[in-house]
């Protein structure tokens, strides 16, 4: 299978199925993409809009059209010479409700279930109430209240001969071992179940007994017996509640309020989501079972590559990726002959967040990441570094908060670890405490002291996780681990330093095996104490975390602890930075994005070039994205907000003016109008208000007029959805855990007040005018990031619908239905009218972006090897405005493509500029220095009728960018389309 030339990401769900996607394949092909790239296709929780809550790895999701629908979709793709990349979710499954048969199995049979080792459950919890049980934190209220209120009930499934506990849509099986106790009112039904155990050898007998029960229960006497049994367990009476409670206490799960999960959950979750259970895909049998469908579809030629979701959640990402690579390459030999062309290499990328300077490990044998690193680079490139300090000062002044994102992130990390992932921290600590107890030199390290050290390491960790090899940190790991270690040392009390250093050694430091020293010559431990110590060690070994087989040596114990540690640092980073601090800090929210560090405000052209060269050298086929199903703001929202970095003083004045204008509309704590005695005790509050104005500036549609009541109201509804999620994710005055609905409603009322029809000549007019003022700057940023994505080393990915302006907000707004009919119509128009420059005068409707995407993808198709293998050459820019241009070449053999893009154009546009392009004469002597092979050669612009000619080695921007703010130049001879 060849590497994709380009991909188009589609979000599939019951409202947009395989057949719906198939109906658009001809449009996708005309647009120029080579591969569809779809969200997970395995069966997810009923009604899922994203597919990441997989409940059955073995079946193509019926809501999407099932396997037949998939085959029809692929048939259309093949007819247009296109391939299919699918998203797979090896890290977790949906475990809420009753749809996951594997999870239901372990609820029914406990640690002896056939799938007990498929999930990352600690069956040896230190809590006696959870030993051998799974915490089931799915109740909406306290257990006693829900039982008292009759919401937990015993039910009988007549078609299965099965007794279950029902709680709304959740179903919890009753273990057949307990059926005799259930059948006290009908002892004649119990005989087949007497003597059953949970051992695997008894489980088939239980199935046979249930089959017989189906028949018996269909008789008149059988139905009466079942009704009597259910009545005896009815929670409507004290006796029934007591009977039901005692039955529940005997099960292999403990029903609990959802709020208990953060402190007591004894199985690995996806982040802090208690309806998503961690899967032990590191076990060979789990790997094969969870990938069997994907492997079959790949072998049959229905899919051509995979995208692995959340690789950092896995116990061993390196081993997983290597194993998956090996299996795919083996299976590629069995694919249909027509699909076995090229080198047999299977395209395989991973979702991985990389910090600045963090490498993706080459030994993983993947083709790269899904593109968050590129999105971060190009997003930072759009920002003017000169705006960093004044905008940070403005944020601090307006909100009273720290000007530094790092301060906000640190506070968020502490909060998430303490309040959301406390149980996971305890689990890591227990693993390390067991190691400590096994050595004389560390046996006095207390659980609490180890917990303090681990917590501070996690809080200070600068990357998602480390990847020790054979239990030892690599040099790449050490670089980042040492940063956390030194930061933790600076915070912890000196008395904890010895524990901290030892924990650091256990977590991958190089150390000899720790053997207990021999006893002193005259030291003779008392026999009783010696036996007690041995019993304690045996108990600790039996309570080893389920992530690993109970360790038999200090080395394997350390590796188990390292895995647990890494599976903690990753969710802490995600939840604290992306899902908390990014909703608290608002210097410019265009930098508050998945995979980005808002503390890194801007990126230089040289640094961007360096990143592209590194990607070309290490992962030339990595995905390049600027929008995803997980983005917090659409690519064009970010591009427009980034323009504020070029006019920080003007934005500061505008922000203050709008805040003053809308002061009378503020709500007090009770939701009433007017200010309160406390300058910050109002809704939405200074920080949330400042971020609200940025959001409105960023997402205001180009064609929306202030007097369009319906249009403004529709926008306000979308912004209200973002606002609610933003406030709850910030976890300050409200949260998902404990919503403050009065505050939330007051914030929504403030939003709808400031955009009410009566404000059309006030705030709405000012907002619209300001957007019109910076709109051209935002468009230039958009052209820049779009062209860079389509021409940089890697595989450009287009998120559904973003070929037009993308003013979406965080999900679910970014997953709204796409108007493909409009795009079809406009694509036909831009094909007829020629290059993107022909659409520039009407840039507000988005057709110019559509034309840019189509033309650049067409060039990639015409010159496929140039962009797939061509080297990346940064070009020197000289002259008066050299800092306002980025230029590079793609070069293969004698072929060249020259990419030039305007950047940071505010000083060049001038007041009143209505079209996003710099007037040619304003470029002055600014020029790009071309490669020697192109000196005085004829070039033409793929994006306009322009045919600039270099003067020796210099190509002047007044010529190259005369028709468009970006240029894609090739030599004569490449056919235009």
Q: What is the pLDDT of residues 655-665, one digit of tens each?
A: 999 999 999 99
What is the per-residue pLDDT across 906-956, written as a single tens digit (0 to 9) for each?
999 977 789 999 999 999 999 999 999 898 788 999 999 999 999 899 999
Cα-based distances in Å from 629 to 104, 337, 735: 30, 34, 23
* 529 pLDDT higher than 50: no
Q: Which pLDDT belongs to residue 524?
A: 36
Mean pLDDT (whole number) for 496-514: 87
What is the per-residue pLDDT across 361-378, written as a single tens digit (0 to 9) for each?
999 999 999 999 999 999
Query: Is 160:210 a contact under the CB 8 Å cutoff?
Result: yes
Q: Give dist(CA 125, CA 801) in Å, integer.
A: 48
Q: Give the 3-state secondary structure of 531-599.
A: HHHHHHHHHHHHCCCCCCCCCCCHHHHHHHHHHHHHHHHHHHHHHHHHCCHHHCCCCCHHHCCCCCCCC
Q: Where in the chain is the domain with CATH 2.60.40.1180?
A: 819-971
What is the per-residue pLDDT across 803-849, written as a single tens digit (0 to 9) for each?
999 999 999 999 999 999 999 999 999 999 999 999 999 999 999 99
Q: Work out the pLDDT band at 553, boundaries 50, 70, 90.
A: low
Backbone angles phi, psi at 196, to 5 degrees: -65, 145
Cα–Cα nearest to 34, from 84, 82, 86, 87: 82
Q: How many CA atoms lie within 13 A of 202 on its CB side?
A: 14
| CATH architecture of the domain covering 7-91+281-370 | Alpha-Beta Barrel (3.20)
Backbone angles phi, psi at 90, to 5 degrees: -80, -15
Q: Which pLDDT belongs to residue 545?
A: 41
* 638 pLDDT higher than 90: yes
Q: What is the residue-wise DSSP string for 410-458?
A: HHHHHHHHHHTSHHHHHHHHHHHHHHHHTSTTTTT--HHHHHHHHHHHH
Query: Is 514:439 a contact under the CB 8 Å cutoff?
Result: yes
574 Cβ neighbours under 8 A, 6+ residues apart: 271, 353, 464
Q: Give dist(CA 395, CA 690) in Å, integer.
A: 8
Tokens coding 796: 């450009």
b vs e for 827-851, b when ≥16 Cβ sit within 10 Å of the residue's Cβ?
A: beebeeeebbbbbbeebbebbbbbb
What is the per-residue pLDDT across 653-701, written as a single tens digit (0 to 9) for each?
999 999 999 999 998 866 666 545 455 689 999 999 999 999 999 999 9
What is the per-residue pLDDT across 284-308, written as a single tens digit (0 to 9) for each?
999 999 999 999 999 999 999 999 9
Backbone angles phi, psi at 799, to 5 degrees: -80, 145
CATH of the domain spanning 819-971 = 2.60.40.1180
What is the per-residue pLDDT across 265-275, written as a single tens digit (0 to 9) for each?
999 999 999 99
- In terms of Cβ atoms closer than 10 Å to its own Cβ (0-12, 13-18, 19+), residue 396 is middle
Mean pLDDT (whole number) for 268-283: 97
* 209 pLDDT higher than 80: yes
Cα–Cα nearest to 799, from 816, 783, 784: 816
What is the per-residue pLDDT across 6-54, written as a single tens digit (0 to 9) for each?
999 999 999 999 999 999 999 999 999 999 999 999 999 999 999 999 9
Q: Work out the pLDDT band at 531, boundaries 50, 70, 90.
A: very low
pTM: 0.93
Q: Where in the chain is the domain with CATH 3.30.1590.10?
A: 101-270
- In terms of Cβ atoms closer than 10 Å to its own Cβ (0-12, 13-18, 19+), residue 613 is middle
* 530 pLDDT higher than 60: no
Query: Is 561:451 a contact under the CB 8 Å cutoff?
Result: no
Q: Where in the chain is the domain with CATH 3.20.20.80?
A: 7-91+281-370
Query: Is 510:525 a contact under the CB 8 Å cutoff?
Result: no
Q: Which pLDDT belongs to residue 974?
A: 58
Q: Compute the mean pLDDT over every residue in the chain, rounded to the nearest whole number.
A: 93
The percentage of residues in the chain with a pLDDT greater than 90, rounded to a whole number, is 88
Q: Give dist(CA 911, CA 836) in Å, integer.
A: 25
Query: Is 43:52 a contact under the CB 8 Å cutoff?
Result: no
Cis peptide before 237 (omega within 30 of 0): no
The percentage of residues in the chain with a pLDDT greater than 70, rounded to a whole number, is 93
| CATH architecture of the domain covering 101-270 | 2-Layer Sandwich (3.30)
Q: Work out the pLDDT band at 342, boundaries 50, 70, 90.
A: low
Q: What distance lies between CA 579 and its chain's CA centroid?
A: 10
Backbone angles phi, psi at 904, to 5 degrees: 50, 55
* 977 pLDDT higher than 60: no
Mean pLDDT (whole number) for 146-174: 96
Mean pLDDT (whole number) for 460-468: 97
Q: Which pLDDT belongs to residue 699?
A: 98
Q: Give dist(CA 625, CA 445) in Å, integer.
A: 47
Q: How many CB atoms lie within 10 A of CB 643?
A: 29
Cα-based distances in Å from 967 to 840, 856, 948: 13, 10, 10
């Amino acid at each position: 299978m060849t590497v994709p030339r380009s991909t188009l990401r589609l979000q599939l769900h019951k409202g947009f199925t395989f057949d719906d996607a198939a109906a658009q394949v001809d449009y996708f092909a005309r647009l120029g993409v080579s591969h569809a790239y779809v969200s997970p296709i395995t069966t997810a929780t009923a009604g899922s809009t994203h597919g990441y809550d997989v409940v059955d790895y073995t079946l193509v999701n019926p809501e999407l059209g099932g396997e037949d629908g998939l085959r029809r979709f692929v048939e259309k793709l093949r007819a247009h010479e296109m391939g299919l990349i699918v998203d797979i979710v090896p890290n977790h499954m949906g475990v809420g409700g009753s749809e996951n048969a594997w999870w239901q199995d372990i609820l029914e049979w406990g640690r002896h279930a056939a799938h007990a080792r498929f999930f990352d459950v600690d069956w040896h919890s230190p809590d006696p109430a959870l030993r051998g049980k799974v915490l089931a934190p799915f109740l909406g209220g306290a257990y006693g209240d829900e039982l008292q209120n009759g919401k937990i009930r015993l039910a009988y499934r007549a078609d299965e001969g099965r007794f279950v506990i029902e709680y709304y849509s959740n179903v919890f099986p009753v273990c057949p071992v307990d059926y005799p106790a259930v059948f006290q009112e009908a002892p004649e039904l119990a005989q087949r179940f007497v003597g059953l155990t949970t051992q695997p050898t008894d489980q088939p007998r239980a199935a046979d007994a249930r089959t017989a029960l189906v028949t018996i229960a269909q008789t008149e006497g059988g139905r009466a017996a079942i009704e009597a049994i259910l009545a005896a367990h009815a929670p409507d009476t004290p006796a029934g509640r007591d009977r039901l409670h005692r039955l529940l206490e005997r099960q292999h799960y403990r029903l609990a309020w959802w709020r208990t999960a953060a402190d007591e959950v004894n199985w690995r979750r996806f982040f802090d989501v208690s309806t998503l259970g961690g899967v032990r895909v590191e076990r060979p049998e789990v790997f094969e079972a969870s990938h069997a469908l994907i492997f079959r579809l790949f072998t049959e030629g229905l899919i051509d590559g995979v995208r692995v979701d959340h690789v950092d959640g896995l116990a061993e990402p390196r081993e997983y990726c290597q194993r998956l690579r090996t299996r795919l390459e083996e299976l590629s030999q069995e694919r249909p002959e027509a699909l076995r062309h090229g080198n047999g290499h299977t395209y395989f990328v991973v979702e991985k967040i990389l910090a600045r300077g963090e490498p993706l490990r080459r030994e993983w044998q993947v083709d790269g990441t899904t593109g968050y690193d590129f999105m971060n680079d190009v997003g930072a490139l759009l920002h003017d570094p000169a705006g960093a300090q004044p905008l940070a000062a403005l944020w601090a002044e307006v909100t009273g908060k720290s000007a530094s994102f790092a301060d906000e992130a640190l506070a968020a990390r502490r909060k998430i670890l303490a309040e959301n992932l406390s149980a996971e921290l305890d689990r890591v600590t227990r693993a390390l405490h067991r190691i400590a107890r096994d050595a004389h030199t560390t046996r006095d390290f207390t659980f609490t002291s180890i917990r303090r050290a681990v917590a501070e390491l996690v809080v200070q960790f600068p990357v998602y996780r480390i990847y020790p090899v054979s239990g030892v940190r690599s040099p790449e790991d050490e670089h980042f681990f040492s940063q956390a270690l030194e930061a933790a040392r600076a915070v912890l009390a000196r008395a904890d330093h010895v524990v901290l250093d030892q924990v650091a050694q256990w977590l991958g430091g190089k150390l000899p095996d720790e053997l207990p020293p021999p006893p002193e010559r005259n030291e003779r431990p008392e026999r009783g104490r010696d036996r007690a110590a041995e019993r304690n060690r045996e108990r600790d070994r039996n309570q080893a975390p389920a992530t690993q087989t109970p360790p038999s040596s200090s080395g394997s114990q350390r590796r188990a602890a390292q895995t647990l540690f890494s599976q903690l640092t990753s969710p802490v980073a995600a939840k604290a930075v992306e899902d908390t601090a990014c909703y608290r800090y608002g210097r410019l929210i265009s930098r508050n994005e998945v995979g980005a560090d808002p503390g890194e405000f801007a990126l230089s052209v040289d640094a961007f070039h360096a990143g592209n060269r590194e990607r070309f050298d290490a992962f030339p086929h990595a995905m390049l994205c600027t929008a995803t199903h997980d983005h917090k703001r659409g690519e064009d929202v970010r591009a427009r907000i980034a323009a504020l970095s070029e006019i920080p003083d003007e934005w500061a004045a505008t922000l203050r003016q709008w805040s003053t204008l809308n002061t009378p509309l503020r709500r007090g704590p009770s939701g009433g109008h007017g200010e309160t005695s406390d300058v910050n005790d109002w809704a939405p509050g200074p920080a949330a208000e400042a971020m609200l104005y940025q959001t409105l500036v960023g997402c205001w549609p180009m064609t929306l007029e202030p007097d369009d009541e319906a249009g403004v109201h529709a926008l306000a509804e979308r912004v209200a959805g973002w606002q609610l999620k933003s406030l709850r994710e910030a976890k300050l005055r409200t949260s998902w855990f404990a919503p403050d609905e009065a505050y939330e409603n007051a914030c929504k009322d403030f939003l709808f007040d400031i955009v009410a029809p009566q404000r059309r000549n006030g705030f709405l007019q000012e907002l619209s005018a300001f957007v019109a003022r910076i709109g051209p700057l935002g468009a230039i940023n958009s052209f820049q990031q779009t062209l860079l994505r389509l021409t940089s080393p890697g595989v450009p990915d287009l998120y559904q619908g973003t070929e037009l302006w993308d003013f979406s907000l965080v999900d679910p707004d970014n997953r709204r239905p796409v108007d493909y009919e409009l795009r079809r119509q406009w694509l036909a128009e831009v094909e007829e009218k020629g290059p993107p420059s022909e659409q520039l005068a009407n840039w507000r409707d988005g057709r110019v972006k559509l034309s840019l995407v189509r033309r650049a993808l067409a060039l990639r198709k015409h010159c496929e090897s140039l962009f797939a293998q061509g080297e990346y050459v940064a070009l020197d820019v000289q002259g008066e405005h050299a800092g306002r241009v980025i230029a590079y070449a793609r070069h293969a053999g004698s072929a060249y493509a020259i990419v030039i893009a305007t950047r940071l154009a505010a000083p060049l546009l001038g007041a009143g500029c209505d079209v996003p392009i710099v007037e040619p004469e304003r470029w002055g002597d600014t020029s790009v220095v071309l490669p020697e092979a192109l000196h005085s050669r004829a070039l033409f612009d793929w994006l306009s009728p322009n045919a600039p000619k270099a003067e020796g080695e210099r190509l002047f921007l007044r010529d190259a960018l005369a028709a468009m703010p970006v240029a894609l130049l090739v030599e004569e001879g490449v056919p235009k389309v």
